[in-house]
Chains A and B, each alone.
Chain A
Amino acid sequence: MNHLGFKIDKVKIGSFDFTCCEGCQLQLANKESTLPAFLGLLDIRNFREISSERHDDYDIALVEGSITRSDEVERLKAIRAQAKVLIAFGTCACFGGVNNLKNKIPQDEAVKVVYGDKKVETMPSMKISDIVSVDLMIPGCPVSKAEVERIVVGVVTRSPNNLPKYPVCVDCKQKLNTCLFDLGEVCLGPVTKAGCDAVCPTGKTPCLGCRGPSDDMNFPSFIQIVKEKNLSLDEMQEKLAFYNGFADYLDHES
């Protein structure tokens, strides 16, 4: 592949899924208008969902999902040993995602309710970085293909990759949306990392924080707004717990 007369090497990439809905991998096949160009940057070595060719000489591993079974731990370690760059791909990989909601109940009780007396192996859901080191995180439920494209292009051209440091609110305000707090809803936009184009509040539903905490935010002031607007702190807690991105901010006493 050439760009402005310079030869650019394709990146050898593998895409792997663990406990998840596979919606993030599906985004790789979206944004169809730029898909052929995007695929032109990649040498896909291992991507079970779309190809029966499997090779283990990838440099970049996209890892989707959280870890909930011992065989997954072993598979993940083998991928880490092979990959030069391991990317936690999507909210489940980065934070555990909705899978972590099952951690609030004893695991044997969960098995009993769903499977009765059948023995089914499961363990509390863990994010990827609980098991192996992660070089880069692309959060989102699902990930934004536009952001994935930017990051992959960055890797191919050896440019630095940065996710926005500011919260979703910044993008939402630029779209001139009516603030959901003014419509009586608790929205996590003020504290969540931007990069999603504020897609939820733009669709008039509150942000549930799938991209995790933003770097530049004021959590105490966020709680203050919820209190000033007389909105439910229980609802705020339910939303903060939804994707597990705010695990460090959950206040069990409020």
Chain B
Amino acid sequence: MKVDFNIDIHHLPRVEGHGNIHISVKNGTLEKAQWEVIETPRFFEMMLRGVSAERASFLTSRICGICSISHSLASIRTLERAMEIEPPEAAKTIRLLAMHGETLQSHALHLFFLAAPDFLDMPSAVPILHSHPEIVKAGLLLKELGNEMSIATTGRATHPVSLVLGGVSKAPSKQRLKELKEMILKRRTALDRTTDFFRTLSIPEFVRETEFISLRNGKDYPFIGGDLVSTDGVVRDENDYLLMTNEYLTDFSTSKFTRVSRQSSAAGALARFNNNSRLLGHRAHDIAASFGLEPICHNPFMNNIAQLVECHHIFENAEMLIESLLDDDLQEIRTPYKLKAGEATGAVEAPRGVLYHHMETDDKGKVLKADCIIPTTQNNANIHYDLQALAAEAVKDGKTDRETEKLCEMLVRSYDPCISCSVH
């Protein structure tokens, strides 16, 4: 059967930011499949010029409402490396716990509010509240736990308050840390319920060989700093981020595209897993195996499962971090520093993948030049080429326009794109 159809999704729903999908099929053959980012640019790199180092992270956190802690820490890491400031160990632990909170919150938001409705054929999570109340409740408990971790460590869930140059401006109280530990223990049931729920969903089978980019430090599952690596065997120093991104412009997208060894590459939970799976906590490792998730997995839909696996890792690791903070007197949380001229890159693993900030400062610590490369920017080209392969496969398999449309929407959502972030 020779089919003709066009799919034009304007402002794709249930993703952060504004993007369009265009697909056109003529005579049963795919003519065009395009991922088009149409977000309004904000020009953060220009806004940063002249801002003092102490204010920079408060500005860059506003690049993204979902991963503001990652942006804040990427800027702080950049400026600390540029000015040779070494934060105290306790502050590093508090920062990592803050990252865990943000990642858990972001993954829970994506898995339950953005991705799950597709699998249950619902327009949003609101009707799921009635059809599967216990599932949404579990999701809310996880999301709330993530937010509580962020609030305890940074003062607020979105746009952190106490992450500052040299360390943190305030440490969580011991009482708060104990409550947080209790909360983690109590909410394991919610995580297990979530895991059981995801076992019942059928993840589309689609494979396109991809180069996965992430951080790697060889010691821990990576969140803050490290070497830049790819599943194609590339290893670079953190300061050589430009060689890992090679940004270029297309005429149909306000977000730039990137590439490394191939025409596109991917970052995010699946990329972190593919490069670092042996560094996951025991339980997270077992959960991955139980879902048949093994490195190197080339199915982008499995990013959902990689996010779930990371939630398990965070539960295990956060408990250990809290233990070590409870053993510390938390007196040394900020190193005194002198603002000076310098230049460096800071890379962190935001929930959606590796995030780079690069800054140069003058001798008073004012930002002279800044560059920010966002995970979704690194995923946009891969989404675009995946979309072409997926749509071609769907047409070949004789899927209808409605089925093709749904699969394509699900594909984009699997990347959990943060579009306003990618057009900063």
Q: Do A and B come from one complex?
A: yes
Interface residues of A (CB under 8 A from B): 17-27, 29-30, 32-33, 35-36, 39, 44, 47-54, 68-69, 72, 97-99, 101-102, 105, 109-111, 113-116, 118, 120, 122, 141-142, 199-200, 202-205, 208, 235, 238-239, 242
State the CA gap A44–B162 with chains docked (Å).
35
Q: A48-B11, A116-B249, A203-B154 are in contact. Are A21 and B420 (CB under 8 A)?
A: yes
- Name the residue on A nearest B157 (C-beta): A30
Chain A residues near B117: list those with CB within 8 A.
52
Given contacts A18-B40, A114-B41, 16 further A-B contacts (CB under 8 A): A32-B144, A44-B124, A50-B13, A50-B124, A50-B125, A53-B124, A54-B13, A68-B41, A98-B62, A114-B43, A115-B249, A141-B62, A200-B155, A204-B162, A205-B162, A239-B55
- Name the residue on B nearest A145 (C-beta): B157
Chain B residues near A118: list those with CB within 8 A.
249
- Cβ contact within 8 Å between A22 and B52: no
State the CA gap A115–B250 with chains docked (Å).
11
State the CA gap A29–B125 with chains docked (Å).
11
- Cβ contact within 8 Å between A203 and B156: yes
Q: How many whole Å from A188's CB to the nearest CB in chain B?
A: 12
Interface residues of B (CB under 8 A from A): 11, 13-17, 40-43, 45-47, 49, 51-52, 55, 58-59, 62-66, 68, 109, 113-114, 117, 123-126, 129, 140-141, 143-144, 147, 154-159, 161-162, 164, 169-170, 249, 254, 420-421
- Cβ contact within 8 Å between B158 and A53: no
The 6 closest A-B pairs by CB, nearest first: A23-B65, A203-B155, A51-B124, A203-B161, A32-B144, A204-B169
Chain B residues near A141: list those with CB within 8 A.
62, 159
- Cβ contact within 8 Å between B58 and A68: no
State the CA gap A203–B16 with chains docked (Å).
28
- Cβ contact within 8 Å between B66 and A52: no
- Cβ contact within 8 Å between A33 and B55: no
- Cβ contact within 8 Å between B155 and A24: no
State the CA gap A118–B144 with chains docked (Å).
42
State the CA gap A16–B64 with chains docked (Å).
16
Q: How many whole Å from A37's CB to the nearest CB in chain B?
A: 11
Q: A32-B141, A33-B144, A113-B46 are in contact. Are A22 and B66 (CB under 8 A)?
A: yes
- Name the residue on B nearest A208 (C-beta): B58
Contact partner of A50 (CB less than 8 A), chosen from B14, B40, B161, is: B14
Q: A98-B47, A110-B46 are in contact. Are A20 and B170 (CB under 8 A)?
A: no
- Cβ contact within 8 Å between A19 and B249: no
- Cβ contact within 8 Å between A23 and B159: yes
- Name the residue on A nearest B125 (C-beta): A50
- Please name 8 pairs of A and B residues whose Cβ atoms are closer than 8 Å in the assembled complex, sorted by A: A21-B62, A23-B158, A27-B158, A32-B144, A52-B13, A52-B117, A204-B170, A205-B169
Chain B residues near A30: list those with CB within 8 A.
147, 157-158
Contact partner of B68 (CB less than 8 A), chosen from A21, A36, A49, is: A21
Q: How many whole Å from B6's CB to the nearest CB in chain A?
A: 19
Q: How many whole Å from B125's CB to the nearest CB in chain A?
A: 7
Q: How many whole Å from A181's CB to the nearest CB in chain B?
A: 15
State the CA gap A226–B5 with chains docked (Å).
66
Q: A205-B164, A238-B52 are in contact. Are A19 and B159 (CB under 8 A)?
A: no
Chain B residues near A23: list those with CB within 8 A.
62, 64-66, 68, 158-159
Q: How many whole Å from A66's CB to the nearest CB in chain B?
A: 9
State the CA gap A110–B45 with chains docked (Å).
9
- Cβ contact within 8 Å between B62 and A39: no
- Cβ contact within 8 Å between B59 and A98: yes
Q: Name, among A19, A98, A105, A238, the residue most crowded by chain B CB atoms within 10 Å (CB to CB).
A: A98
- Cβ contact within 8 Å between B420 and A20: yes
Chain A residues near B49: list those with CB within 8 A.
105
Chain A residues near B113: list those with CB within 8 A.
29, 50
- Cβ contact within 8 Å between A53 and B123: yes
- Cβ contact within 8 Å between A102 and B140: no
- Name the residue on A nearest B51 (C-beta): A238
State the CA gap A19–B421 with chains docked (Å).
11
Q: How many whole Å from A171's CB to the nearest CB in chain B?
A: 14
State the CA gap A208–B55 with chains docked (Å).
10
Chain B residues near A114: list those with CB within 8 A.
41, 43, 45-46
- Cβ contact within 8 Å between A72 and B141: no
- Name the residue on B nearest A210 (C-beta): B159
State the CA gap A232–B45 with chains docked (Å).
25
Chain A residues near B41: list those with CB within 8 A.
68, 114-115, 120, 122
- Name the residue on A nearest B68 (C-beta): A23
Q: Name, among A27, A51, A105, the residue most crowded by chain B CB atoms within 10 Å (CB to CB).
A: A51
- Cβ contact within 8 Å between A51 and B161: no
Q: A23-B66, A48-B11, A50-B124 are in contact. Are A122 and B158 (CB under 8 A)?
A: no
Chain B residues near A208: list those with CB within 8 A.
55, 58
- Name the residue on B nearest A102 (C-beta): B43
Contact partner of A48 (CB less than 8 A), chosen from B13, B42, B65, B125, is: B13
State the CA gap A45–B42 with chains docked (Å).
28
Q: How many whole Å from A166's CB to the nearest CB in chain B?
A: 21
Chain B residues near A203: list those with CB within 8 A.
154-156, 161-162, 169-170
State the CA gap A49–B14 with chains docked (Å).
5
